[in-house]
Structure formats: C-alpha cells, structure tokens
C-alpha cells in the first residue's frame, strides 16, 4: 500500500507519560508514516510540552509537526514560535484556530485559522508545509455548511498545502465535502482523519462535543456490548477497517490516525489494510 500515513499524539504531562510515548513512537515507526503530529492545548497551554514532544520525535529520526493554534495568541508570540521551529529544523506545521481556555475572554490578535496561515506565509514564505483542519460534518460553530466550506477555502487560499479532517464514521460525508471543495476550486489534498475505537463511552462524549456523528446503527451496537471491552474492540476494528477500505478505494490521498498515544489499534488497522 503506497498510501501516505500520518499519526497524531498529544503531549504527555509527566515523565512517565513521555517514556510511554517514546515506546509508542518506536512501535508505530514500523508503519513509516509521513509525519507524526503533536497537538497544542487551548490558548497555547501546552506550548512547551508540544515543542518538547516534537523534538523528542525528531531526535528519534522521524518527521514531526507541531500543531499551532492562534486563539489567545499574539503576532509576536507566534513569530517567536516560528523562529524556534526554524532553528530546530521543523518544516511542517498543523495550523488551527483552536479554542479559548475556560475563563479566558480575549481571543487575541487572530480570530480565524486563515489569518494564522496568512501570517505564517507573510513571516516565513514557503519555509513550512502547512496543514489545516477540515470538517466533513461541518464545524459545530459554523452557521451553515456553505459558510464552513467557504471558511475552509479561505484557509487554503491563504497558503495551506494540505488539510486533515476531523474524524468521522460516515464516508458519504467526507466524499460530499471533498466534492463540494473541489467545486469551489480547492485542489490541495484533503486527508481523512481516522479515530480508532477503544472506549465507546469516551468516544460518544467527545463526539457529541466536537460535532462528529456516530451513526445510530453503530451507537446502538456499541451500547449493546455494555462493559464488554473485547466485543467493543473487535467491532470497532471491523467498522474502522471498512471505513478506511472504502476511503482508499474512493481515492483518499492518505489516512491520518488519531492514536490517543496508543499503538495497538492503529497497528492492527494498518495490518488489516495491508500496510
């Protein structure tokens, strides 16, 4: 399978967590991903841990991309980070709007991700390969699907090289989104985000918060398993494998796995896909 893979982590909070992540990176490295990405907390709350994690991954010989969100940030602060990335040899960024931390009222000097992308380009030219987010089932704060699509196009027009979607379990939503984006003249790769399923209760809560739909038939089946972790894992692997197979068959340019800092489910999914 020549399909490009990428894998996402969050920055560990403890030394023990970092040790576990090193082991996870080593296990997932056999997949030869295009890059590993590391998330960035609301309002930059994980700035140093994100950078430290990216540098750990890079030191192990892998391509690593920090997420960079602009809400709650200043131009000076973003410029400083871009300088640090440059000094440390980082050449790929996942540029996002991000969320305001709880209790923070000031959005900072950037309101939208397209402004962040435009700023990165104005400061650094083509130094960085910039990934942006996309929402096949629409951003939960978008007023309409059309508005969300136009917001996405603005990010691409500002200089994004590629996009990674929010995870989804309805392939039709992704295919429709890509079709609509292409109709607007968007030509960059739109890589589907894939969320392996380990704990359905946690997934359901997160999905309700971020606007990712879990189809009713899936939800009912998972709920029927109750606390049966083995059945949940087996069904989740089947469902996500079938989703990935359909996406690949329909021409998806890659797969971006939300690993949740675990290796086993992503490895098994890729084994089933022939990777």
Sorted by where each begins, the domain ranges of the chain are 4-272
6 pairs with which residues across the strands? 35, 256
- What's the pLDDT band for 246 if we cut at 50, 70, 90? very high
- pLDDT of the residue at 141: 85
* Arithmetic mean of pLDDT, 245-262: 97
- pLDDT of the residue at 1: 46
- pLDDT of the residue at 107: 63
Query: For residue range 205-230, what is the model confidence (pLDDT) as tens digits?
Result: 999 988 899 999 999 999 999 999 99
Helix, strand, coil percentages, rounded to 5, for the chain: 50, 15, 35
Residues catalogued as catalytic? 8
Query: For residue range 38-53, what is the model confidence (pLDDT) as tens digits?
Result: 998 765 567 789 999 9
Closest CA to 56 of 19, 27, 83, 86: 19
Q: Of the ranges 153-157, 193-197, 205-209, which one carries the lowest mean pLDDT score?
A: 205-209
Greatest distance between any 2 Cα atoms in the chain: 53
| CB-based contact 269:241 (threshold 8 Å) | yes
| CB-based contact 61:42 (threshold 8 Å) | no
Write the DSSP assignment of 120-163 as a string of letters: HHHHHTTSSEEEEEE-TT--TT-SSHHHHHHHHHHHHHTT--EE
Of 99 and 58, the structure prediction assigns the larger pLDDT to 58
Question: What are the backbone dihedrals phi and psi of residue 164, each rounded to the nearest 5 degrees, phi first?
Answer: -120, 130
* Count of Cβ atoms closer than 10 Å to residue 167 Cβ: 23
CATH code that applies to domain 4-272: 3.20.20.220
- pLDDT of the residue at 47: 79
Work out the percent of the chain whose per-residue pLDDT is above 90: 84
**Mutual orientation of helices 145-157 and 171-183 as an angle, nearest 10°?**
60
Work out the percent of the chain whose per-residue pLDDT is above 70: 95
| CB-based contact 229:237 (threshold 8 Å) | no
* Arithmetic mean of pLDDT, 8-15: 94
* Arithmetic mean of pLDDT, 71-82: 91
Query: For residue range 17-29, what is the model confidence (pLDDT) as tens digits?
Result: 999 999 999 999 9
| CB-based contact 3:275 (threshold 8 Å) | yes
CA distance 96 to 188: 16
* Count of Cβ atoms closer than 10 Å to residue 230 Cβ: 8
- pLDDT of the residue at 59: 93
Query: For residue range 96-114, what is the model confidence (pLDDT) as tens digits?
Result: 998 766 555 566 788 899 9
255 pairs with which residues across the strands? 5
Q: Please state, in angstroms and as integers, the Cα–Cα distance from residue 272 to each residue in 3, 242, 262, following that order.
A: 14, 10, 17
Q: Does residue 251 carry a pLDDT above 90?
A: yes
* Arithmetic mean of pLDDT, 190-215: 95
């Amino acid at each position: 399978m020549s399909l490009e893979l990428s894998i996402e982590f969050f920055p560990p909070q403890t030394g023990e967590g970092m040790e576990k992540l090193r082991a996870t990176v080593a296990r997932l490295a056999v997949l030869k991903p295009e890059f590993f990405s590391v998330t960035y907390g609301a309002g930059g709350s994980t700035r140093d841990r994100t950078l430290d994690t990216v540098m750990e991954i890079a030191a192990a010989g892998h391509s690593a991309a920090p997420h960079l969100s602009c809400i709650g940030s200043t131009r000076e602060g973003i410029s400083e980070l871009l300088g640090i990335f440059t000094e440390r040899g980082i050449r790929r960024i996942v540029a996002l709007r991000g969320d305001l931390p709880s209790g923070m009222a000031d959005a900072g000097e950037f309101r939208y991700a397209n402004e962040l992308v435009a700023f990165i380009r104005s400061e650094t030219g083509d130094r960085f390969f910039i990934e942006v987010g996309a929402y096949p089932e629409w951003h939960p704060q978008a007023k309409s699907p059309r508005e969300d699509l136009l917001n996405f196009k603005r990010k691409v027009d500002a200089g994004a090289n590629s996009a990674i979607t929010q995870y989804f379990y309805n392939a039709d939503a992704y295919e429709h989104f890509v079709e609509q984006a292409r109709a607007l003249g968007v030509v960059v790769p739109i890589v589907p985000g894939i969320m392996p399923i380990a704990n359905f209760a946690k997934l359901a809560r997160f999905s309700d918060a971020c606007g990712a739909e879990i189809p009713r038939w899936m939800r009912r089946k998972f709920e029927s398993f109750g606390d049966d972790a083995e059945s949940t894992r087996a069904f989740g692997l089947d469902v996500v494998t079938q989703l990935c197979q359909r996406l690949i068959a329909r021409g998806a340019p890659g797969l971006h796995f939300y690993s949740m800092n675990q290796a086993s489910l992503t490895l098994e999914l890729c084994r089933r896909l022939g990777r």
